[in-house]
């Protein structure tokens, strides 16, 4: 069975939606890096970043990185329609997933944990980093909207992994 390490209101929601579209059995383990628990120790053993989503596959192997997990599920379960069948559309969907991971998900990690990116900085300097990163994040979403038109969905005629990740990460 799949085992999804996740947390409410986090990026793991995208993987949970995808697992449901794949119609596979999974168990969700609630864990978050700042909340000490047995589940967190279990998560750290699988993913030293202690981040969610982390997905353990039925064969015991571990997948991290939301975009990679969604691409894997889309390829492994074509009937889920997570990825478009047509190669050109599929390439654009994969590009969009990687775009979100690189340009939108990463800045959120800086906004949530600015102290990880500045050694010995005072609060005012941290807030400056947070504010600059937020502006960059909004710009990156605006450029995403320009480059990935909905037709009517980002994934084409039906909603897919790109729609799911965009919906979750914008929230
Ligand atoms: N590169 C990872 C980022 C995952 C991530 O930042 N997850 C957040 C929750 S949305 C998290 O676990 N944050 C806790 C931490 O970084 O300590 C991905 O693309 O999946």
Task: Quick: pLDDT tens for 15-30.
Answer: 999 999 999 999 999 9
- The dihedral through the CA atoms of 116, 31, 6, 127 has a sign that is negative
- Pairing label, strands 54-56, 62-64: antiparallel
Please state the φ and ψ torsions of residue 52, each to the nearest 5 degrees: -110, 150
Provide the 3-class DSSP secondary structure of residue 31.
coil
Q: Would you say the CB of residue 52 lies under 6 angstroms from ligand 1? A: yes
Q: What is the DSSP letter of 12?
A: H
Q: Give residue 21 CA to ligand 1 midpoint distance, Å.
A: 22
Q: Is the CB of 105 under 6 A from ligand 1?
A: yes
Q: Model confidence over 116-148: pLDDT tens digits?
A: 999 999 999 999 999 999 999 999 999 999 999
What tokens does 170 get? 């914008």
What's the confidence (pLDDT) of residue 154?
96
CB of 11 shorter than 6 A to ligand 1: yes
Give the residue among 121, 136, 11, 129 at the shortest CA–CA distance from 66.
11
Arithmetic mean of pLDDT, 79-96: 97
3-state SS class at 49: coil
């Amino acid at each position: 069975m799949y085992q999804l390490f996740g947390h409410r209101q986090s990026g793991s929601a995208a993987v949970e939606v995808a697992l449901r579209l794949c119609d596979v059995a999974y168990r969700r383990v609630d864990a978050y890096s700042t909340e000490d628990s047995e589940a967190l120790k279990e998560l750290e053993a699988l993913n030293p970043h202690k981040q969610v989503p982390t997905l353990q596959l039925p064969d015991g192997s571990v997948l991290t990185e939301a975009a990679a997990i969604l691409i894997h599920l889309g390829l492994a379960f074509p009937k889920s329609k997570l990825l478009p069948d047509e190669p050109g559309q599929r390439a654009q969907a994969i590009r969009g997933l990687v775009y979100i991971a690189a340009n939108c998900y990463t800045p959120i990690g800086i906004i949530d944990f600015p102290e990880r990116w500045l050694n010995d900085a005072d609060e005012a300097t941290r807030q400056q980093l947070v504010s600059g990163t937020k502006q960059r994040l909004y710009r990156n979403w605006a450029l995403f909207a320009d480059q990935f038109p909905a037709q009517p969905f980002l994934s084409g005629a039906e909603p897919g992994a790109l729609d799911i990740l965009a919906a979750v990460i914008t929230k």
